[in-house]
Structure 1
């Protein structure tokens, strides 16, 4: 009986120590300082966290009452625009005033318009969104709430978009068609459909506009497209469930988040070779699996100064901060439940 009491006491103390250790290891540790504010959109908690990157403090938590996957800052830094992906009833956007840090407007899109992808437009009062029901690229004026352009992608389940940095050209990924639509924004017409394989999702373009890189979550590949010829010039093997990718500010590297693997791959843009795989805590050893959440990187944003990349680790409720010189995680930011979309304001 005495021995049993000692065993119970021992395991009780062990369990308490283990729980304390887990809590300590899972605590976010932000220990850098850089300029700007990071807006973190957490899906399940349906809120936006405003984080001061200079002081390392949360400025505000903004309830948005919607399940949002994508967000973008307007070109004048006055607004954050969020798309609503989680409701079969509400077809809307919400606008956050970045000076007051509160929702200032809800835009009802109506007419069964259901958007996910969103892109910053050159004009400060406009954004471009991708409607995956009617498969169109829409240019929306957030002041007048009018859709000023409706351009058909001519494909199925159009998802995300990116603009050419020097030409009036837009590109959309089309998941079910396995393609990229090339859209001339002067004529408002598709000028090319590029076949890439079923499951096209993430998309980004090099800062000089020469190459378009697109992820394929079904085949675990990255398709490289020459934007002059609109032809596939290379295929890169990626990790499992490569959701998003983003080029460094100088264009030398492309970072790809592999959700199932819990990793971020770093590729050299010119050679197309992988130079590093960044492992997030939680999958490498038994102890790590015990102490950390299973990692799931789902989104990525580059700081405009080129020094840092921010990665949404949705299972761990953290933002992982990557040093772009060493490609190492140097800080973490605690978030709401299931962080995903990110936006930056100077």
Structure 2
């Protein structure tokens, strides 16, 4: 899951300038910013429908739906916003699609029993993905090419599910559902994986923007934990809502939220004090089974939270400051993975 801002190309204008066009001619070529404002787009993988929904966030309507692979779960956007990577949890590949037109350009094969799930596309261009069935993490380079590079790093644990990667890509961390552990993987190859037991059934995971604190939510014990990302020692323990399936740090680095599946809400944790500051009701506890919220995603300005409601085939858009559910966006069956593409200047 990811948010990306992209610029608008000026190549046609530059070509006309080099051909000797006047300033007046060039003004006529420039797009009118009020005529067709750039749109923010939400991408949603639908794990039961085996497809991907595209939602125009200005109108709130689904504008496209395309078939994908078997049981798509998490997805990520490339740094320049031109490509989407879909983790094909029901098979063994990561599929790479162009955001313009959603044409699949390559399937990256990870090997027998891979079951790829957690996925992160780093600014360097390297793509990281967990492979549950192989107890490993893959680092994929030049994924847009038919023959790219694949490096596999073993976690040594069963069910390596969700993923976080250090800003300098020196390490990655997984939550291991079946082993009920959190594992640090040295991506330099200098150290063996380090696994610790954190609460009951850790699943959600997120690293602070400065890379100095690793936050984990344990769905079985209704808790969140702040860990030292190097030693894996627990620094803080925080009680959350019920069944905190996901955890995500705000891009501004001031708070984290957990997606509390059985409460139908979000717990907001102040990262400086490691205290719960409030809860946001996305749905009521009685409605939680009908919505079954899973994946969460911040807008890059931290003003909106998007919550995938897998059972009701919707994504809730929540205003962070007020806690109000602004609207519910209709998507395909079992909407799960989320990514937002925000062109420069888009609202």
TM range (shorter): 0.7 to 0.9
Instruction: Find the residue that maps to 2:73 and give its secondary structure.
Output: coil
Q: Structure 1's 267 and 122: CA in aligned 2 closer, same or farther, altered over 3 A?
A: same
Query: Aligned pair 1:332/2:336, yes or no?
Result: no
How much has 1:65 moved relative to structure 2? Answer: 4.3
1:85-124 residue CA offsets vs partner (Å, 9 max, x unmatched) = 23xxx32222221012233333333333232111113333
Q: Which has the larger radius of gyration?
A: 1
After superposition, residues 286-297 of structure 1 pair within 5 angstroms as 294-297=290-293
Kept in 1: contact 2:205–2:217 (CA 8 A): yes
Instruction: Find the residue that maps to 1:336 and give its secondary structure.
Output: coil
- 1:318 is aligned to 314
Mapped partners of 2:40, 2:196: distance in 1: 37
Query: Aligned pair 1:61/2:65, yes or no?
Result: yes
Mapped partners of 2:323, 2:198: distance in 1: 29
CA RMSD of aligned residues (A): 2.4
- 1:97 is aligned to 98
User: How many residues of Structure 1 are paired with residues of Structure 2 in the alignment?
Assistant: 304
Mapped partners of 2:181, 2:266: distance in 1: 24
Mapped partners of 1:261, 1:312: distance in 2: 14
How much has 1:336 moved relative to structure 2? Answer: 1.2
Mapped partners of 1:188, 1:303: distance in 2: 36
- 2:201 is aligned to 199
Mapped partners of 1:318, 1:133: distance in 2: 29
Query: Aligned pair 1:267/2:263, yes or no?
Result: no
- 2:40 is aligned to 36
Kept in 2: contact 1:71–1:341 (CA 8 A): yes
How much has 1:191 moved relative to structure 2? Answer: 5.3
Mapped partners of 2:242, 2:261: distance in 1: 7
Mapped partners of 1:145, 1:55: distance in 2: 39
Match of 2:340 among 320, 338, 344: 344
Instruction: Find the residue that maps to 1:133 and give its secondary structure.
Output: helix
**TM-score, normalised relative to structure 1:** 0.80
Greater RCO, CA 8 A, separation 6+? 2
Instruction: Find the residue that maps to 1:343 and give its secondary structure.
Output: strand
Mapped partners of 2:190, 2:184: distance in 1: 10
Match of 2:77 among 66, 73, 77: 73
Query: Gapped runs of 5+ residues in structure 1?
Result: 1-32
Mapped partners of 1:134, 1:108: distance in 2: 13
* Deviation >4 Å, runs of 4+: none
Query: Aligned pair 1:133/2:133, yes or no?
Result: yes
Mapped partners of 1:278, 1:217: distance in 2: 18
- 2:297 is aligned to 301
Kept in 1: contact 2:158–2:179 (CA 8 A): yes
Instruction: Find the residue that maps to 1:305 and give its secondary structure.
Output: coil
1:167-198 residue CA offsets vs partner (Å, 9 max, x unmatched) = 52211112233322222222364353333144
Instruction: Find the residue that maps to 1:117 and give its secondary structure.
Output: strand
Query: Gapped runs of 5+ residues in structure 2?
Result: 1-36, 343-347
**TM-score, normalised relative to structure 2:** 0.80
Mapped partners of 1:45, 1:75: distance in 2: 27
1:276-314 residue CA offsets vs partner (Å, 9 max, x unmatched) = 222233545xxxx6xx98232101011112221111011
Query: Aligned pair 1:106/2:103, yes or no?
Result: no
Q: Structure 1's 156 and 198: CA in aligned 2 closer, same or farther, altered over 3 A?
A: farther
Mapped partners of 1:145, 1:121: distance in 2: 19
Kept in 2: contact 1:137–1:152 (CA 8 A): yes
Mapped partners of 2:191, 2:115: distance in 1: 21
Mapped partners of 1:326, 1:50: distance in 2: 26
Kept in 2: contact 1:120–1:128 (CA 8 A): yes
Kept in 1: contact 2:69–2:88 (CA 8 A): no
Kept in 2: contact 1:158–1:174 (CA 8 A): yes
Kept in 1: contact 2:199–2:223 (CA 8 A): no
Q: Structure 1's 83 and 191: CA in aligned 2 closer, same or farther, altered over 3 A?
A: closer
